[in-house]
């Protein structure tokens, strides 16, 4: 119950242990098509370029920046936690100029500040922000931020690592141009693979690049030879076959549940956990309207030691919760209710274990 | 029985389906240490920087070039197949200048040509070559090539994707500076992860870089905060936990067998397959002394159709063998005897199925 990897569903674990077949086997190619459809379903998009990058979420992030940012380009990046900072690092490494919009950690990205920054920098061409900040548990209004970006003629790159499957996300309706996520958060799957989706506007930008994408491994013009349309798949790199079995199974399961039902389940379980925590006198870091249901960041009560408490949870209850990061190290805990981990038994265990650790009489 | 992914051992498949734990869990951190030791054992190295990159072999290749090549640097690259070409692509994308030493596909890299190229280009600082060319089945003399490179004051980057575990490879004794491999060839593990090892000389070069590594995800100065020495692991990216369970299990198995015994088994089984194929009148592409035991590239007999024969093998015998690449497309087959696939039952099945496809009377 940390900030991810979250509990992997037994069906996903079982799927991963199926015999490995070739990455160009017709049976595998069919499964790739189903995987693309499943990703389109959960992203709420019809983008043709919707596929999993063969590496963790950080590589999904890098795929977006490596392909869309050219040297000298101005990119507005909103930072309200660790992953906004990582976005900035990506921009500068690929030769872009990062214009930073800063908000306090634990707060949502400010739409007004973004609008101001874009007004002051009319030559900016891309806006990047994190939908759900895993480092703080804050949710930003992706729809509004994308509208502002579009009004200023910018493409958008959105980090949906922790949001996908856990809260509302509508790639087409919100006109997001490039989005990346992770498998190990609200999809109940193993870590190691990163779903992405690119709009036609983003693809147009790719095809008009003046420079080569630096990374051969993440160059979408090559990767799409393997993941693109039709049965004629060209070898690019060896796909992580078993990990893709796992992702496929998790997508089948979300389809069975219904993506909107998945969002609702995360919200409902968050309320149960929140009520229990508040009864123990534990307060949340993030204000109600910006709170992520799948990642509950709470303030460690006075007099309680962070490290020894988390060790006791792990050793006595086999329960992992997340530490605070940056200025919040030692001051907050991050309790994940993501994917398969977002269920009643986990909430009950967490509340009981915490009451023990905090020395609360039941 | 293609060029990889090869058969994954049932113990590895089973290991992958263990419950996912956190990438900073003390139990996982211990497993990471064992994984590093296991990789040192099979690479025959004491290099401290020996670890798996969280992505397929192509990303392992990119890790070596992204970290070691700086813009403007001259790199001699030996090309005798697809993967030498991919190395060249890496060099130029990271701003290096590639000096190409070309050999015919299906032949080993020529030591004399390398020596000449280095004599003509005294300012070259790195030599890159493929130990075992997966596209053709040719083995090059890595020991000799590294000696030549060192005599000219160059570091070496060696592709050991198909060689590791299948033929002799001695990173320390041969003084290889950077080596990358894949999990899905002779290690009997699932695809998706890439073991690498860097010598102290290579690390010295890393620490004297004038420019940032372009890739944040593959920047070893950051990755080693997570994979480095001691219990104090710093989060960099979320490790592919279950895939690492699989790799760990495969390393345990190779340790049980003994790495030299693994090389011997690949050689012994190659001889059995070779004798059977030659009895059917099938000839090898690569001359005897340069032949990879784990990847048998054979010439498709006259009058036999490539695609329909491989389809029949797949549909009637559940047997995949590899197609030829480049100029050899439609002209050769690549029969893998890698890792767990290098065993008697497979050889028997392959010989029987091929004799059926070729219409040979038994």
**pLDDT tens digits along B82-127:** 999 999 999 999 999 999 999 999 999 999 999 999 999 999 999 9
Outline which parts of chain A fall under CATH 3.40.640.10.
10-256
Residue A229's pLDDT band, with cuts at 50, 70 and 90, is: confident
Averaged over B152-160, what is the pLDDT? 98
98-137 in B: which are within 8 Å (CB) of A? none
Q: Indicate if the pLDDT at residue A295 is higher than 80.
A: yes
**How high is the pLDDT of residue A362?**
52
How far off is chain B from A47, nearest CA to CA, in Å?
A: 25
Quick check: B315 pLDDT over 60? yes
Which candidate in B22, B159, B320 is best for mutational testing of the A interface (most A CBs within 10 A)? B22
Q: Over 70: is that where the pLDDT of B177 sits?
A: yes
- What are the residue ranges of CATH 3.90.1150.10 in chain A? 259-357
Chain A CB contacts of B16 below 8 Å: 13, 16-17, 242
Average pLDDT over residues A50-57: 98
- Which residues of chain B are within 8 Å of residue A89 when distances are taken between CB atoms? 216
Could you confirm whether domain B259-357 is CATH 3.30.460.10?
no
Specify the pLDDT at position B361. 58
Beta-bridge partner residues of B138: B133, B291
What pLDDT band is residue A232 in, cutting at 50, 70 and 90? confident
- Determine how β-strand B155-159 pairs with β-strand B178-180: parallel
> CA A162, CA A139: separation in Å to the nearest integer?
10
The β-bridge relationship of strands A126-130 and A74-79 is: parallel
Average pLDDT on B268-293 reads: 97
CB contact under 8 A, A56 and B54: yes
How would residue A360 be classed by pLDDT, with cut points 50, 70 and 90? confident
Radius of gyration of chain A (CA): 20
Yes or no: say if A94 and A209 are a contact pair by the CB < 8 Å rule. no
First to last CA, chain B: 22
* Beta carbons of B5 and A20 less than 8 Å apart: yes
pLDDT class for B362, splitting at 50, 70, 90? Answer: low
Q: Residues of chain A with pLDDT > 70: what percent? A: 99
- Closest residue in A to B94 (Cα–Cα): A214
Flag whether pLDDT at B293 surpasses 80.
Answer: yes
Residue A128: which of A184, A176, A162, A175 has the closest Cα? A176
* Architecture field, domain B10-256: 3-Layer(aba) Sandwich (3.40)
pLDDT reading at A32 higher than 70: yes
Check whether A29 has a pLDDT greater than 80.
yes
> What contacts A326, CB < 8 A, 6 or more positions away?
A81, A82, A105, A135
Rg (CA), chain B: 20
pTM: 0.96
Contact B160, B153 (CB under 8 A): no
Residue with tokens 């009643």: A344
**Is 80 exceeded by the pLDDT of residue A21?**
yes
Q: What average pLDDT does the segment A243-271 reach?
A: 98
Q: How confident is the model at residue B232 (pLDDT cuts 50, 70, 90)?
A: confident
Q: Annotate A178-190 with DSSP letters as a single string.
A: EEE--SSSTT---
The whole-number pLDDT of residue B360 equals 81
Tens digit of each residue's pLDDT (9 = 90 or more) over B57-77:
999 999 999 999 999 999 999
Nearest to A175 by CA among A194, A195, A157, A196: A157
Three-class DSSP labels, B305-323: CHHHHHHHHHHHHCCCCEE
What ipTM is given for this predicted complex?
0.95
Say if the Cβ atoms of A242 and B243 lie within 8 Å: yes
Going by pLDDT thresholds of 50, 70 and 90, the confidence category of residue B231 is low
* Average confidence score pLDDT of chain B: 96
- Asked if B94 reaches chain A (Cβ–Cβ under 8 Å), the answer is yes
Q: Which residues are CB-neighbours of A343 under 8 A, at least 6 positions away?
A: A269
Residue A230 has pLDDT above 80, yes or no: no
Mean pLDDT taken over chain A: 96
Q: Which of A17, A54, A238 is closest, CB to CB, to B13? A: A17
Q: Residues of A numbered 43-72 whose beta carbons fall under 8 angstroms of chain B's beta carbons: which are they?
A: 54-59, 61-62, 66
Q: Is the pLDDT of residue A233 over 90?
A: no
pLDDT for position B233: 87
Task: Inform me whether the C-beta atom of residue B342 falls under 8 Å from chain A C-beta atoms.
Answer: no
| pLDDT score for A198 | 98
Distance from CA of A345 to the nearest CA of B (A): 17
């Amino acid at each position: 119950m940390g900030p991810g990897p979250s509990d992997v569903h037994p069906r996903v674990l079982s799927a991963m242990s199926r015999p490995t077949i070739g990455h160009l086997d017709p049976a595998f190619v069919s499964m790739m098509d189903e995987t693309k459809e499943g990703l389109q379903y959960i992203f709420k998009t019809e983008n043709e370029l919707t596929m999993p990058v063969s590496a963790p979420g950080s590589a999904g992030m890098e795929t977006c920046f490596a392909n869309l940012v050219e040297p000298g380009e101005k990119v507005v990046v909103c930072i309200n936690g660790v992953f906004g900072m990582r976005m900035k690092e990506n921009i500068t490494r690929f030769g872009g100029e990062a214009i930073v919009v800063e908000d306090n950690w634990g707060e949502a990205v400010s739409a007004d500040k973004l609008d101001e920054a874009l007004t002051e920098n009319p030559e900016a061409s891309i806006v990047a922000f994190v939908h759900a900040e895993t480092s703080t548990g804050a949710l930003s209004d992706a729809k509004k931020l994308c509208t502002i970006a579009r009004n200023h003629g910018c493409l958008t790159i959105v980090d949906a690592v922790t949001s996908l499957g856990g809260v509302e996300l509508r790639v087409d309706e919100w006109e997001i141009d490039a989005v990346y996520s992770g498998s190990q958060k609200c999809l109940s799957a193993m870590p190691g693979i990163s779903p992405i989706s690119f709009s036609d506007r983003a693809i147009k930008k790719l095809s008009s690049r003046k420079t080569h994408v630096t990374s051969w491994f993440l160059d979408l013009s090559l990767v799409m030879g393997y993941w693109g349309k039709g049965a004629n798949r060209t070898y690019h790199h060896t796909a992580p076959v078993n990990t893709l079995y796992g992702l496929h199974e998790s997508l089948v399961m979300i389809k069975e549940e219904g993506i909107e039902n998945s969002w609702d389940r995360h919200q409902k379980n968050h309320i149960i956990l929140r009520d229990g925590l508040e009864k123990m006198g534990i307060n949340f870091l993030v204000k109600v309207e910006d709170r992520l249901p799948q990642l509950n960041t709470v303030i460690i009560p006075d007099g309680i030691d962070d490290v020894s408490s988390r060790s006791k949870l792990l050793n006595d209850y086999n329960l992992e919760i997340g530490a605070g990061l940056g200025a919040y190290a030692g001051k907050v805990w991050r309790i994940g209710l993501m994917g398969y981990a977002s269920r009643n038994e986990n909430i009950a265990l967490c509340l009981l274990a915490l009451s023990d650790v905090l020395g609360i009489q039941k």
